[in-house]
Chain A
């Protein structure tokens, strides 16, 4: 087990902790580590740190460890933890804030989840809506899994569930403008 100097970590991490609290709107000291979140989390079996442990890392200032955690990417934002938290701690908001901070620093421990999000948003910016088939084809190529879900493709295609052509909306560029305006405000897109 690694040893940490917590006094030093706590001192260094003050600004990061403030940033996560400001972005998430959640006070980290509200968590008293009961672990109910971890008990109910449907993705905990695949996580490196349970939701409770992620909060503990942030509380004691081990933010590098939190930023490298796969858990914040694996979180499905299902809100089970928040619904069950006896102290109303908005854990999904913390997961979201840490993931965005990691993303901004180029830390992406879950490459396929990052790729999925990026391709999804590229599709939305380009067409105004998600073009599922185009996105999945690009995902399979870029994730080097060309045959993932290939057995489902013919049925999806012949029942009209996926189409090779995107549905573009006539919004006079309103959606592109939303992306531009978010960027102009310093957004992470």
Chain B
């Protein structure tokens, strides 16, 4: 199975462990990711505030490069995914917009290939059966709150799961041996860039999400977006009750990696602000199940 891979800017920077863990897990599952050469920023979180055409054209150049290779595109970042799907849909729906975008990017692009969220690729195309076969260190006893945020499941036309009560990540957690937590904030918005440009607003949104996870007795939260991660992990110390929360945040690919036997370091987890290793040690997940059985 081969996909064009669009990491996006954050996966080279603040979301670097998402990139590291994605590559490790994909290789382990025999999923070939062909990184789009010299990809550019898709403009997510900024371009749409300025100009509609710019917001469509920036993703289009990347999609046009992938289309030349006749590959569907796998996108780890929820914001990039949403912008790329928006471009694909506009090109498919309007011959006039297709022509305008092609003039702007000076390339042909007919949107014949698909844009897929990496989570969708892993769970629905590689498949939970394949993933289950590779689990050597099940996440036993780990209560995981799956946080989808906004742009993975909304607007509803773009998504691959229910916009109000999505289950893709919850099913993945179960497959990895963990316990999905039932909570109310799985599709609430983390405020994206507001934590920087409007901290008084952004931090309040972040705190509400963290507190709801905690109140529902989650040990940790998993996400599929580098901006959600940054907000919940790095800014956890900045919210009012942040010091007491101590709620580790994982990319779903990191927990897949852990369950498949990779060490936290191989997955880039030492880069987290909230250190997740003590939790994994407390739940005895990092040790091989056979070792656990012997001691028992």
Q: Is B61 an interface residue (CB 8 A)?
A: yes
Q: Is B138 an interface residue (CB 8 A)?
A: no
Q: How far is the CA of A5 from the CA of B191 in the complex (A)?
A: 37
Q: How far is the CA of A161 from the CA of B15 in the complex (A)?
A: 7
Indicate the member of B9, B151, B191 with the most A CB atoms within 10 Å. Answer: B9
Q: How far is the CA of A133 from the CA of B196 in the complex (A)?
A: 13
Report whether A182 and B104 are in contact in the complex, using a CB–CB cutoff of 8 Å: yes
Report whether B234 and A152 are in contact in the complex, using a CB–CB cutoff of 8 Å: yes
Q: Is A169 an interface residue (CB 8 A)?
A: yes
Chain A residues closer than 8 Å to B200, beta-carbon distance: 46
Q: Is A17 an interface residue (CB 8 A)?
A: no
Which B residues, 6 to 49, have Cβ-Cβ distances below 8 Å to chain A? 9-10, 12-14, 16, 38-41, 43, 45-49
Report whether A116 and B196 are in contact in the complex, using a CB–CB cutoff of 8 Å: yes
Chain B residues closer than 8 Å to A16, beta-carbon distance: none
Q: Which of B39, B193, B271 contacts A169 (CB under 8 A)?
A: B39
Q: Known contacts A80-B150, A80-B154, A96-B52; decide if A117 and B273 are in contact (CB<8 Å).
A: no
Count A/B pairs, Cβ under 8 Å.
169
Tell me how far the C-beta of B49 lies from the nearest C-beta in chain A, rounded to whole angstroms: 5
Q: How far is the CA of A23 from the CA of B39 in the complex (A)?
A: 29
Q: How far is the CA of A20 from the CA of B10 in the complex (A)?
A: 33
In the complex, the chain A residue whose C-beta lies closest to that of B10 is: A132
Report whether B198 and A113 are in contact in the complex, using a CB–CB cutoff of 8 Å: yes
Seen from chain A, the residues whose Cβ lies within 8 Å of a Cβ on chain B are 23, 42-43, 45-46, 74, 76-80, 82-83, 92, 96, 99-100, 103, 110, 112-113, 115-117, 120-121, 123-124, 128-130, 132-133, 136, 139, 148-149, 151-152, 155-156, 159-163, 167, 169-171, 174-175, 177-179, 181-182, 185, 187-189
Seen from chain B, the residues whose Cβ lies within 8 Å of a Cβ on chain A are 9-10, 12-14, 16, 38-41, 43, 45-54, 57-58, 61, 100, 103-106, 149-151, 154-156, 163-164, 187-189, 191-194, 196-201, 204-205, 234, 237, 270-271, 273
Could you list 14 examples of A-B contacts with CB < 8 Å? A43-B189, A43-B205, A79-B150, A96-B48, A117-B50, A128-B41, A132-B13, A161-B13, A162-B13, A175-B41, A178-B57, A187-B54, A188-B50, A189-B50
Going nearest first, the 10 A-B pairs with the smallest beta carbon separation are: A78-B189, A79-B154, A120-B46, A116-B197, A78-B150, A159-B271, A130-B9, A181-B104, A42-B189, A46-B201
